[in-house]
A and B are shown apart, each in its own frame.
Chain A
Amino acid sequence: MVTESAAISSPVRARRVTPFTGVVVALLVIAVVAPFALSGFRVLQLTHIVIYAVAVLGLNLLTGFSGQISLGNGAFWALGSYTGVILLTYCGVPYWATPVASGAVCFILGYLFGRVATRLEGLYLALGTFALAIATPQILKLDAFEKWTGGSQGVVMSKPRSPIAALDDDQWLYLFCLLVAIILFTVAWNIVRGRTGRALSALRDHPIAAGTLTIDTLAYKSITFGVSAMYTGIAGGLSAIVTGFISPDSFPIFLSIQLLVGGVLGGIASIFGTLFGAAFIELVPDLAKSLSDSAPAVLYGVLLIVCMKVMPGGVAGLAYRTRSWLIHRSSHRSSHRIRT
């Protein structure tokens, strides 16, 4: 398992300005300014990236930090989407409040699913969640739910309008999603760096030993499932608002697969990696289409395999290895100096 994450390995330090803080601030500034510099289409892409980042972060919390593989997060994305849509369309809840509901519903169901699913290890959990994801569109199409889900035709919603004159609708939605994402990332950061995070790492790396300590393994695993589902559900809720339309076929197995791809390519135990992973799954499929008109999927598949060979720890792993190599080189040089 990849363990090289700056978030976990370094101890909690006192607040001070570091190059790391600088990077975060720079990223935030870029993120806030970006929608004003880009076209509407690009803003939409950025919005998708932000939403994916939240979902991939959810998956990372589950797979990277507590070692449980899930190929079924698409189901929670769908759940979050439908929760938001139903509240918006039938209960008149304003769009900006729906992510909270999506998150709450998904947390509860994710926790319950976790209590059941955490008895499964590794491969079996992957298979079970894979089955969940494949069956999700079918379940959503059931007649019993048609009243709420709109059946195969789906539900159309009106796009939220920007309340500020200076921002157009796309920009407003982007900033709204960005705000939600920043809140969620900060929460995740604190979870991971705190005691919970260390417990989760222990769970992941030494599950049996962890069980012998006073960590209630089952509870932690289930809560992690709940949190992961919550994040994914919020992402789903945001996605529905932004897209304005959902149907059972909006949530194919490919969605769950993409989330896992994004997580692993970014670096499965890295919070910063999620940003790269999210960008990858949003942009690369379109890029593949533009490069190869007829066989973008082949290109994408090959790219995935090559990436796994070249950077098995994802981008975060690559960054870590580069940093170690640089440190090693400079210390080698300095020790050389000491000898002479």
Chain B
Amino acid sequence: MQAFFHQLLSGIAIGSIYAAVALALVMIFKATHQVNFAQGELAMFSTYIALTLIHLGVPYPIAFVLTICSSFVIGVAIERLIMRPFRHAPPLTPVIVFIGLLIGINGLAGWQFSPVSQSFPSPFPDHAWYGTTYLSPHEIGMIAVTLIVLGIVFAFFRYTKLGLAMRAAAENPASSRLVGIRVGWMLALGWGLASALGSVAGMMAAPIVSLDPNMMGQILLYAFAAALLGGIDNPWGAPIGGFLIGITENLAGAYVVGEKLKLPLALAVIILVLLFKPSGLFGRTVVVRV
């Protein structure tokens, strides 16, 4: 029974990473109707920035905040400089651009930082008072940080003027312009936020999976599954999907299919969701008007 709880809670912990990345994917999808295939690489790159700062002697909390800020700026810059010129392109073109970003950022990380796997520190000490038999302090910290960050993001969208403007711009760009919203900049902000979210996920995941340029590949796949499960256009569904996938992955891996089949399991989830309920658990069914 103890083992079961351990798996369950661990699943929630790793699910928090998927939740954050899934939310980032959904944010960009809602605003642009495109899937950011390079989301994982952006998160990984930001994590390297954090590591560099830490190695330079910057205290972790400051490095954390600086990384989030720089990640935000990078996201905005990518949208303005790289994605914006392609906003009127045929649908296949942005996919190649994302691929170019994916390959380029991956290579950039390996070049600028290091292609070799490195360890990344956790801000939560190994033997903190809040450690339990079921969860390590880092895992508890992960869940806490993710919930706090998710809370901040949701409060931002719900209660601030800018958040409202971003929601409006994603839903109806034409009407948004008619009330004076600069839709282009709202897109850029969305990218910035998504990138910042991804950086948090990266910094939380790195102590567990250790930092190397390919660290986010698998996480991205799980995040896709989570986003689809929650409804690719539903920001509330994404985190729920993330936690569900985390739990399912852990429990299934431990009791049903074994470690090796965890990735194909994610694939199976994706395909099943796409087949039977493409709008996910909470998404709106897409009706195509003929």
Residues of A with Cβ closer than 8 Å to B? 1-2, 63, 69, 71, 116, 119-120, 122-124, 126-128, 130-132, 134-135, 138-139, 141-143, 208, 253, 257, 260-261, 264-265, 268, 294-305, 307-309, 312
Contact = CB atoms under 8 A, between A and B. Distances in A.
B267 A301 contact: no
A165 to B, nearest CB: 44
Interface string B248-266: 0000000000001101101
B129 to A, nearest CB: 39
B99 interface: yes
Contacts of B100: 300-305, 308
Given A116-B275, A119-B275, A134 B92 contact: no
25 contacts: A2-B90, A69-B92, A69-B95, A120-B275, A123-B34, A124-B274, A126-B95, A128-B274, A132-B271, A135-B263, A135-B264, A135-B267, A257-B102, A264-B92, A294-B111, A296-B107, A297-B108, A298-B107, A300-B100, A300-B103, A300-B104, A301-B105, A304-B96, A304-B103, A308-B97
Interface in B85-117: 85-86, 89-93, 95-97, 99-108, 110-111
B201 interface: no
Contact of B35 (A119, A126, A132, A260): A126
Given A1-B90, A299-B107, A308-B86, 13 more contacts: A1-B91, A69-B95, A123-B33, A123-B35, A124-B278, A130-B224, A131-B224, A132-B267, A134-B267, A142-B261, A300-B107, A301-B99, A307-B96
Nearest to A72: B267
B28 interface: no
Contacts of A303: 100
A128 B270 contact: yes
Contacts of B90: 1-2, 312
B278 to A, nearest CB: 5
Interface string B106-137: 11101100000000000000000000000000
Closest 9 CB pairs of A and B: A297-B107, A301-B104, A304-B100, A295-B111, A135-B267, A305-B100, A301-B103, A138-B263, A301-B100
Contacts of B86: 308-309
Contacts of A307: 96
Contacts, number: 135
Nearest to A212: B290
Interface of B: 33-35, 37, 82, 85-86, 89-93, 95-97, 99-108, 110-111, 217-218, 221, 224-225, 228, 260-261, 263-264, 266-267, 270-271, 274-275, 278, 288, 290
Contacts of A294: 111
A298 B108 contact: yes
- Please classify the interface of chain A as helix (H, G, I), strand (E, B), loop, or mixed, using the class held by over half of its residues: helix
A295 B107 contact: yes
Contacts of B260: 138, 141-143
B92 A63 contact: yes
Contact of A305 (B101, B110, B217, B271): B101
A307 B34 CA distance: 20
